[in-house]
Structure 1
Amino acid sequence: MRRPHAVWVQVLLFLLFAVVLSAVPALVGLLADKSGLGLSLFLAWYGIFPPVTLFLLGWLFYRYESNWLRFWGRVSLGVGIWFSLQALVTPLAEASLVFRLLSLPTVLAGDNWLWLWTVIFLGDGICLTVAGTYRLGAASLTRDVPTAASASEPASEPAPGRTRIRTAVTIAAIVLLAAVPALVVWSSVPGTPRLPTSTPGAEGDPASLGPRLPSTEEVWSYIVDIYSFGPRRTGSQAALATADYLASRLTGFGFADVRVETVDFDYWEASRWRVSVDDGSGSGPRDLECFYVPYSGPTAPEGVTAELVYVGTGRSEDWAGTDVAGKVVLVDLPPVEVAWDQLKIFGYLAYDKTGRTKGWSRPYPIGWMIHYLSVYPALEEAGVAGIIGVLRGYPDMGPLSYYAPYDGELRSVPSLYIREREGQRLVEALQGGAGVTASVVLEAAVAPGAGRAPVVYGVLPGRSETNLIIHSHYDSPWASGVEDSSGVGVVLALARYYAAVPAEARDRTLVFLFTGSHMVGAPTNPWFIESHREDIMARNLYDIAIEHVADDFPYDDEGLTARGAFVTENPVVASIFARTVTTRGLDRTLIFPTGTPLGVPTDAGPFQRAGYRVVSLISGPVYLFDAADTLDRVARDELGPMAAAYVDFIERLGQVPDFLLRPKVNLLAALYVLVLLTPLALAGYLSRGPGYAGRPVVMTTGTRKNGGELHGSIGG
């Protein structure tokens, strides 16, 4: 086998290897259904394989180098090429689909310290290769290489001490290389919860059998309770009453430490809204079915009346040269589709128990909102008097009631939504040359800083002060069976269950948290993080957020909507959660790393963005912000199994030491190579001693024209 001796040849060859290894996750996502546990484990741990593979190839190709500096440099250079390629393509992911697909290994592995590993491995590789090439240092840096005269002589046998070292190094290398698959298997095999449990109706004394696992009926009862408070808009009386209910429930479960802390926010509440248009036909103004854009600018009771101007999708090129100052603009808000077949490319797991999800595609409930937010600043700056957004592709699920955006940002321009059929009629009239006048009315109470959003939480001490936060948010746009009565119901059931577990049987401290400001940009979440940075958050291991147990209405109200779990890129946690999903049969569940284009679009997002680890499950049915989100929309049959799955997940986490649950894959990969494999490779190299035989290519000593010895060059 001829080895690639020249450095430039190594760079090109290893770059090719790195590109191929970068493409593997994308190819798996495109060609496989990703529904099996085995494939999800492969992807969760994949970030370790490329640097280890390139390390082993470097050892294979360059183990006959003339000195250990050059050997170590060539091996480090190969690993550095991997990290440098990922460091280059990851920032370019937004610019090209090719770069996005090639950056998938880093997305799956976490991009922490990517440039640091590039500098360490690539920098070491270049410096050591140069040093070894020009023999910087003493002769002791070199391993004796046979000369042309001695190459034909029999090689001396290695000393017994060197043989023992080589044997020990070989055994250690085998153990280390086997450790990764062993850890994969260990972290993913189904574990039996160590806590004894009972189920309703079990024979004997339930107390003697341990705490009762949450049932579907129990979770449902909590959901009904939350739903009965009505629309729980942040800071409303209904939301405040819900917070009191949650604190009372935790106390009733036996929590000794229950707290309610309040955060201020900008309060906004609409009282009257209306859109009417006059097309100049003589029939007079005509009212349109409409709904307000939350936190947009209020008007006087008489509203704003002005000429209506169509600006297409609101992009600057759609209305360039059009005078929109002082006018009401009609803007198309297109839907954003999310499709199972595309989403699965970016995840660890795409669990499809029934095999019926292929081709699944639905409008994303925040899609219309995202478009509105993207075009609003330019329209506001242009001085428009009002905005009428046409909800293109929004399904008819009852009275128009799309409550979004929910960022809690006060805006100055009054804005309202209308349905597509009404919007299309206006577009056709305007394009036909009709002069249309629009009146927009939006009366709202605005009180900056006057809103109150309670945070409710209870603490259950465990054997370890390290804690898991288990949380959901209780505020909602409407009575909202799914958003988020359902998530709160599951968390309450888990709180009841673990309150019945003796403290000495709880592996870690558990914090059950209910935030109340999701619908105004979640200010309670960063406030909680900052307020408890020195206590709860200092000892936090993961935030486990549970939201939206939902059906697939209006497309398939008998089936589940697809859901996604966003997991910090720790391979052990991703493996355990994948095992939980597959063994518990949580159908239509995708598991994503946190670095996908989706980010973490959940109530756990502020925790993740603040640097804390998360496991956050959510679904996005199209009716999520609509009054159509009734109790009928809750996927009731999923409630008990989901609560039981989280008990299993939490208990399995309890069997794993903290240090294995913290690092991301890229950190594990770099340390694995740098701290474990590199010393072994060097020890193995140095143990071979002088005159080592068996090289497939013999390096011979040449002579320069002036008679000096030639030891090689950067070119080989």
Structure 2
Amino acid sequence: MNARLSGDEKRGGACGTDNAGLTTSTGPRPRRRPPVPEESHLLKNAAIALAAAGTLLLASCGSSTAPSGGGRSVVDAAPCARSTAPEAQGMPSTERIFGWIEDLVGIGYRRTGTLEGEKAAAYVKCQFESLGLQDVHYETAKSWNWSATRSRLKVNGEAVDSFPVAHTYVTLDQPSVFSTGPDGLTAEIVDVGAGVPLQSVQGKIVMFDLKFLMPPALLALQIEFLWDPGLTTLEPTLVIGNPFVTSYATAVERAMEGGAVGFIGVLSDYFDSNKYYNEFYRRTQVTIPGVWVTKKEGARIRQMMGGGNRSANLVMEGFRKEATGRAVVGFLPGKSKDTIMVQSHHDSVFYGAVEDGSGTAAVLAQAQYYASQPAESRQKTMMFATFDTHFSGYQVHREFVRKYVIDKETPYNIVANVTLEHIGKQGIKGADDQLEITDKPELRAIIENMGPTLKLGMINSVIRHDLRRTALISGHVLCPIGALPTDAGFICAAGVPTASLIAGPNYLYDAADTLDKVAKDDLVPVTKVFIDLIDAIDATPTALIGLPLKSPLYESGAQD
């Protein structure tokens, strides 16, 4: 092997990059630039050959694209060797952090229960190992993999561009194969606009406008500090909702209660795309099929219904199967088993450059920095973890919290959590509802319930590293009531003091979440701000880190 490292080897240490990125669930993806979905069919044959070659080259690394000759699966591959490359030591550069994001995006749609999802977990495991973390392993839980293999909508016989609503048409708590039949179901549309069905809709297809209910301004009362020297946050987006909290559950539950056989969700608050892949809302198991349409297509449907004919034909076929969800966990020992946890999620619904390639890369950046420090410099043990099941029910998160925090089945006493998500550029609805990306980072929050000294330290660090458009938001109420809208929601509700970085750009659940949306210039400043915080937590007596208020929902079992 040549002594000179390639760019990929510099990023991944002994692992390099996983050529799994050349073949995805939707076809091949070029590297080093944002993927373009329409290219997939053009490069498919070449990618298959390249992926096969990459498998042979990288099989010894432990993150190969297919089972090795010994019969190992992707997730059971041999451990990766510790990297001694200079680039794998100390503070990682912007390009190295961005390279990790490129690698994850290159894997494809990293959905729980797919080969791409397994490759993402194996990739993180290999990076942890190559950076020198110890006891690197998976924590698993049963989850779900949902997929629509066929979907179509016609209104009054005219085709309407639509996209299947994720996690619909399921059998309660069971795996299933679902189908409306080859000809689909035909029924009358009942249009309830921005409301919910107030009367029987037995045998009907309900159409409703999906509303985004949580604008950044809603958290204004909880803001403790905002670093925005240019006052750039005083703009209309402050009162525009993000895709996290919506009217979906209420509208669909009322439709099912009223006897609806299907639904059409109009993305009235979204930019001009129907590729909205929602999370699985655990308490809303949707047993009827549904599709998303854009605001423009919704207006066209309503125009077609103006003549009195309200017939829709909805086709949906697919399956939901049990799947293994995985967290990847690794440690750096300290002088005590009191443990600082650094967390994100590695799964995605499409390419997931911002959600959450950026968050996973931020965890890797922390892991590289702290693995380069002498063990005797740490008062506390450090744990690094990335999860999947973020979009399929959070089963791994819940099982992890049960094992490590509630039932304390391990020697690690998790005394603080740092969660890193969504280092992205601002997305706005521009002219004609087109998605526009600005040169500003999306307004972000550090939602935290730390003690006063640590709060002050975070404020000083945000200013020192000039992490603009960043607010500190109190989590002292949000955590105990189980309302923290981040990947740290369950561990914070379990009483672990938490600082959770989050932003809500409008493209997060969309195929538009590609590499060009990452706020590259913020990758290193974010890393430095949270190094400062982790160092301060490490030096703080455990009893002074924060007030460990556990949600009463854990006592009642409502978190399950």
TM-score, normalised with respect to structure 1: 0.59
2:558 aligned partner: none
Secondary structure of the residue aligned to 2:124 is helix
Determine the C-alpha separation between the residues in 2 that align with 1:453 and 1:389. Answer: 29
Over 3 Å counting, the alpha-carbon distance change for 1:664 and 1:244 in structure 2 is closer
Query: Take 1:336 and 1:598, find their aligned partners in 2: how far apart are those partners?
Result: 18
Q: Is the 8 A contact 1:216 1:641 kept in 2?
A: no
Which residue of 376, 382, 401 maps to 2:258?
382
Which region of structure 1 is more displaced relative to structure 2, 543-552 or 434-443?
434-443
Choose which of 200, 206, 227 in structure 2 pairs with 1:351: 227
Question: CA 1:583 to 1:466, structure 2 compared with 1: closer, same or farther past 3 Å?
Answer: same
State the Cα distance separating 1:604 from its structure 2 match.
0.2
Secondary structure at the aligned position of 1:478 is classed as coil
Q: SS state of the match for residue 528, structure 1?
A: helix
1:436 and 2:436 correspond:
no
The 5 A counterparts of 1:299-448 are 299-300=179-180, 301-316=182-197, 319-320=198-199, 323-336=200-213, 338-340=215-217, 343-361=219-237, 363-366=240-243, 370-396=246-272, 400-407=274-281, 410-430=285-305, 432-447=306-321
Distance in 2 between residues matched to 1:623 and 1:502, nearest whole Å: 40
- Which of 411, 415, 420 is the matching residue for 1:541? 415
Contact 1:339 1:359 in 2 (8 A): no
Q: Is the 8 A contact 2:437 2:517 kept in 1?
A: no
Across the aligned residues of Structure 1 and Structure 2, the Cα RMSD in angstroms comes to: 2.4
Q: Considering only CA atoms, is the larger Rg found in Structure 1 or Structure 2?
A: 1
- Which of 116, 127, 131 aligns to 1:253? It is 131
Shift of 1:364: 3.1
Residues 107-506 of structure 1: pairs in structure 2 closer than 5 A: 212-278=90-156, 285-297=157-169, 298-300=178-180, 301-316=182-197, 319-320=198-199, 323-336=200-213, 338-340=215-217, 343-361=219-237, 363-366=240-243, 370-396=246-272, 400-407=274-281, 410-430=285-305, 432-447=306-321, 450-506=322-378
Deviation digits for residues 174-221 of structure 1, max 9, x if unmatched? xxxxxxxxxxxxxxxxxxxxxxxxxxxxxxxx99xx952122111111
Between 601-610 and 210-219, report the one with greater CA deviation.
Answer: 210-219
Tell me the equivalent position of 2:18.
none
User: CA 1:612 to 1:654, structure 2 compared with 1: closer, same or farther past 3 Å?
Assistant: closer
Deviation at 1:314, TM superposition (A): 3.5
Question: Paired residue for 2:443, among 541, 545, 562?
Answer: 562
CA contact (8 A) 1:364 1:621 kept: no
Given candidates 492, 514, 522, the residue that maps to 1:608 is 492
Query: Would the alpha carbon gap of residues 583 and 348 (structure 1) be closer, same or farther in structure 2, given more than 3 Å must change?
Result: same
In structure 2, how many angstroms separate the alpha carbons of the residues matched to 1:395 and 1:579? 36
**In structure 1, distance between residues paired with 2:145 and 2:360:** 23
Structure 1 stretches of at least 4 aligned residues deviating more than 6 Å after TM superposition: none
State the alpha-carbon separation in 2 of the partners of residues 582 and 345 from structure 1: 21
Aligned length in residues: 442
Query: Is 1:524–2:524 an aligned residue pair?
Result: no
How far did residue 576 of structure 1 move? 2.0
1:575 aligned to 2:459? no
Indicate if the aligned counterparts of 1:468 and 1:543 stay in contact, CA closer than 8 A: yes
* Residue among 457, 460, 470 paired with 1:589: 470
2:518 to 629, 634, 641: 634
Gap regions ≥5 residues in structure 2: 1-84, 170-177, 428-434, 550-560
SS in 2 for 1:228: helix
Question: Is residue 423–residue 523 contact of structure 2 (8 Å, CA) maintained in 1?
Answer: yes
Contact 1:461–1:510 (CA under 8 A) maintained in structure 2: yes
- Structure 1: distance between partners of 2:209 and 2:505: 22
Q: 1:664 to 1:381 in 2, by over 3 A?
A: closer
Inter-partner Cα distance in structure 2 for 1:256 and 1:345: 42
Quick one: distance in 2 between partners of 1:226 and 1:426? 38
| Structure 1 residue 598: Cα displacement | 9.7
C-alpha separation between the residues in 2 aligned to 1:211 and 1:420?
49
Q: Secondary structure at the match of 1:534?
A: coil
SS of alignment partner, residue 471 of structure 1:
strand
Q: Secondary structure of the residue that 1:425 maps to in structure 2?
A: helix
Task: Tell me which amino acid in the other structure corresponds to 1:439.
Answer: N
In structure 1, what is the equivalent of residue 557 of structure 2?
none
Q: Which amino acid aligns with 1:635?
A: A
Any unmatched runs of 5+ in structure 1?
1-205, 279-284, 666-716
- Residue 424 of structure 1 aligns with an amino acid whose one-letter code is A
Deviation at 1:464, TM superposition (A): 2.3
CA contact (8 A) 2:277 2:349 kept: yes
- Residue 609 of structure 1 aligns with an amino acid whose one-letter code is A
Task: Return the letter of the residue paired with 1:492.
Answer: L
Cα pair distance change 1:252/1:272, threshold 3 Å: same
Residues 112 and 392 in structure 2, CA contact (< 8 A), matched pair in contact too: yes
More strand by share: 2
Query: Offset at 1:429?
Result: 4.2
TM-score by length of 2: 0.75
Secondary structure of the residue that 1:529 maps to in structure 2? helix
Q: Does 1:550 align with 2:446?
A: no
Change (3 A) 1:602 1:491: same
Change beyond 3 A, Cα 1:222–1:536: farther
Tell me how far apart the structure 2 counterparts of residues 271 and 234 of structure 1 sit (CA, whole Å).
16
Taking the TM superposition and a 5 Å limit, the aligned residue runs for 1:626-665 are 626-663=510-547
SS at match of 2:394: coil
C-alpha displacement of 1:339: 4.1
Corresponding residue of 2:46 = none
- Residue 252 of structure 2 aligns with an amino acid whose one-letter code is Y
The answer (yes or no) to whether the contact 1:328–1:387 under 8 Å persists in 2 is yes
Sequence identity (%)? 30
Instruction: Tell me by how many angstroms 1:299 deviates.
Output: 2.9
Residue identity matched to 2:237: S
CA deviations over 1:307-359 (Å, ceiling 9, x no partner): 1121222334xx43xx410011111223336145x533321112113322223
In the alignment, what sits opposite 1:625? 509
Could you tell me how far apart the structure 2 residues matched to 1:663 and 1:306 are? 55
Shift of the 598–424 alpha-carbon distance from structure 1 to 2, 3 Å rule, reads farther
Q: Give the structure with the higher percent helix.
A: 1
Indicate conservation of the 8 Å contact 1:365/1:624, yes or no. no
Deviation at 1:575, TM superposition (A): 2.1
CA contact (8 A) 2:445 2:470 kept: yes
Match of 1:497, SS?
A: helix
Q: Equivalents in 1 of 2:497, 2:207: separation in Å?
A: 42
Contact 2:133 2:330 in 1 (8 A): yes
Give the letter aligned to residue 167 of structure 2: Y
Cα contact 1:260–1:454 (8 A) shared by 2? yes
